[in-house]
Amino acid sequence: MEINRTDLTELFFELVSYDTSSDTVSGDYPSTESQFYFGEVLLGKLSQIGLSDVKADKYGYVTATLPASEGYEGMPTVGFISHMDTSPECSGNGIKPMLIENYDGSCIKRKGEDLDPKEFKSLEKYVGKSIICSDGTTLLGSDDKAGIAEIITAFEYLANHPEIKHGKLRLAFTPDEEIGAGVRYFDVEEFGCDFAYTVDGGELGELSYENFNAAGANIEVKGKSVHPGEAKDIMINAALVASEIVVELEKYGTPSTTEKREGFYHVTDLTANVEWADITIIIRDFDVKNFELMKERLCLVCDGINKKYGSDVTKVKITDQYKNMREIMDKYPVVTEIAAKGMKRAGVTPRIEPIRGGTDGAMLSFKGLPCPNMFTGGCNFHGPFEYVCVESMEAAVRTIVNIAECVTECL
């Protein structure tokens, strides 16, 4: 299966030129107007390659259909999903992608911070390959513009190769995945798929049907401000109290001290002065019992602070965000098996790994659409050190095509 590398990379370069960063504080849906505009761009591309039912709804969801091959109309309908937004943690404006052909393993010099294999060991895997990164002043946007480019390329390939038989295929591009709201209004029944795959993973071969249980926590700290010269036994410095909380939680794991199936607390934002502090924390763990214990521990830490300084010094609000989709996916093993078979046909060795994060697929699975996650070829998401391997992107396209064909053989 020969994928046109030039067309794939040119499409990716074009897609990342659109700033689609989501916004955690926006009250709108999508959270940024730019995602609506980007959806219009995608509608044009999907119509251009000959798909049907091409539309965007009032929430910004872009969907389209590739009809079943003649005689295969009774096969299950399969969906492929990627998200349009990029992480608000790092600028997605003015992205200037760099293509490094036949990477030689050396430090990649950039306008911003260099991409150095001494720090990012994963680069060693891609010597002799072609990789794309930003100029170091922004993220790249391969999370998840790579997934979008791969799905569009695969659907175009299938449309142009009718000899490859498949059932009805659907695609969807969603907003606001990066802020945990990607499928809040997604109409699973209207999408009409028996199962689907999010194309939103990392390195070559990654296949996941398990993700973190996730919650967000907000802690408000109320201090007491008096003249520092007369503060003995009176002042409560909210900034210092917030620091106590953070230091205590750090004992139980942070992103930089955990791996594999270990959970963590991640302080994403802290604003503080003497009178007031506000802490935003995300809580993650694969095991549901450990996850509940982590939430309880956070409350106990704040209870301890209140006993020390006063009953109303801290207020805690914890909001569950998403659950581990393994609870659902264990009931549909064939969905993951089909993806693994599609990878093997593409010459890719499947690596079944838990996602140390979340995807739209987690929430979709609990909405009744079994939806594991497959690789895009990207690395170091959410920051200026992000990059993607072109050969891995090509493999992702072949895998999507193969999955479509494998369904006709397995079901």
| Active site (catalytic) residues | 85, 177
Cα end-to-end span (Å), the chain: 23
The Cα 198–Cα 296 span in angstroms is: 32
Kind of pairing between the strands at 373-374 and 195-199: parallel
Number of Cβ within 10 Å of residue 35's Cβ equals: 27
Kind of pairing between the strands at 78-83 and 195-199: parallel
The Cα 40–Cα 81 span in angstroms is: 17
Q: How large is the angle between the packed helices 142-160 and 33-48, nearest 10 degrees?
A: 20
Q: Which of 143, 134, 140 is nearest to 85 (CA)?
A: 143
E-assigned strands of 52-181? 52-56, 62-66, 78-83, 98-100, 131-133, 169-174
How many residues appear in the chain? 411
Which residues, including other chains, have CB under 8 Å from residue 253's CB and lie 6 or more apart? 262, 263, 264, 265
Per the CB < 8 A criterion, the answer to whether 301 and 245 are in contact is: yes
